[in-house]
Homo-oligomer: A and B are copies of this chain.
Amino acid sequence: MVTTPAQTTETTHGATADGGRDRAKRADAVRNVEAILAAATRVLATDPDASINEIAKAAGVGRVTLYGHFDSRATLVREVVDRAIAQTDEALATVDLDGDPREALGRLLEATWHLTHRFGALVVAGSQVLPPEEMSRAHEGPAQRVRGLLERGRAAGELRDDMPVDWQVSVLQAILHGASAAVHRGEITADEAPALVRATTLGALSA
């Protein structure tokens, strides 16, 4: 699902606020917004300090065009982080978390791995421009899903319950990010990563 930014302020070269226009946004404008968001996601995932100029170039648009769609770098980063979290939540929503907790955890990890690898350092970029509560709130949906499954596994005696569940969520995230970093360093391949993440995480969390 593609979300486009709500432009609530007038842009500098006369483009009106959404509320004031007689018709929907032009097709090339819609395409450019999507190109900017995709480029920002890609670039910020590996370099959270990337400039507006670098993002605009990666998107194939001018800086003024980017500013025509996003009020500031912070606005763009917020939009990109929100989209990533929404896509994560949406992808996790399709994962079957019923049945055996350990098998469900394996399925969850498979889905989550791809998202973590794709979004990488985006969280760092977000942390630099967004307040901590906003970042925390953004993460709550996906984290709650994971926590719910871990609670079920602990209650069933399949996952260890001698450590805080929030710590277990952190471990899961740490292993996922570590796998992404290892792929970037060339130590493992992206194909090998899911199985390694699954085996390692299940080993760490199993009763």
**Chain A contacts to B: CB under 8 angstroms:** 49, 160, 162-164, 166-167, 170-171, 173-175, 177-179, 181-182, 187-188, 196, 199-201, 203-206
Chain B residue nearest to A199 (CB atoms) is: B163
Chain B residue nearest to A206 (CB atoms) is: B203
Chain B residue nearest to A205 (CB atoms) is: B203
Residues of B contacting A175 with CB < 8 Å? 171, 174-175, 178, 204
6 contacting pairs across A/B (C-beta < 8 A)? A166-B188, A167-B200, A170-B182, A171-B178, A174-B179, A175-B178
Residues of B contacting A170 with CB < 8 Å? 178-179, 181-182, 187
Q: How far is the CB of A196 from chain B (nearest CB, A)?
A: 6
Q: Which of B160, B181, B188 contacts A164 (CB 8 A)?
A: B188
Chain B residue nearest to A136 (CB atoms) is: B185
A164 touches B187 (CB 8 A): yes
Q: How far is the CB of A173 from chain B (nearest CB, A)?
A: 7
Q: Which of B164, B167, B177, B203 contacts A174 (CB 8 A)?
A: B177
